[in-house]
Amino acid sequence: MKEKFSLVMLAERMDESLVLLAHRLCLPLYMMAGLNLNARKEKVLMLQTERQVLYQMQQVDLAVYNHFGSKFQEHVEEFGVQKMQRSVNELRRINHQVSHTRKH
């Protein structure tokens, strides 16, 4: 599976994912700008028993997620942790600018 997917983007690390994608595609960071339109604002609270049932049902999904989460962290470290933080900050600045421009 890892031969087919050289980069798997993670939703909870979307800014970092977009930075890596831009880098891989040799695109300027501003081309990764986006608006956060339909994001869930509140967290869904679950009972402990519900969590246990979901955990048991999603063992394979969790194994795949953990594998690609580790690979993602390797990509971040190869890119450079400090360089990633600067790039994420820049992308967020661009996104803020796009969002602000959109409102006016």
Q: How confident is the model at residue 104 (pLDDT cuts 50, 70, 90)?
A: low
Predicted pLDDT of residue 103 = 60
Angle between helices 59-79 and 14-25 (to 10 degrees): 60
Q: Taking the domains of the chain in order of start, what are their residue ranges?
A: 11-37+47-103
Which position has the higher pLDDT, 34 or 68?
68
What is the C-alpha to C-alpha distance for residues 7 and 51, in angstroms, rounded to an integer? 29
Residue 42 is classified by DSSP as S
pLDDT tens readout for residues 37-92: 766 678 888 999 999 999 999 999 999 999 999 999 999 999 999 999 999 999 99
Contact 19, 84 (CB under 8 A): yes
Q: How confident is the model at residue 19 (pLDDT cuts 50, 70, 90)?
A: very high
Sequence-distant (6+) residues with CB within 8 A of 8 are 68, 71, 72
The tokens of 66 are what? 């953990």
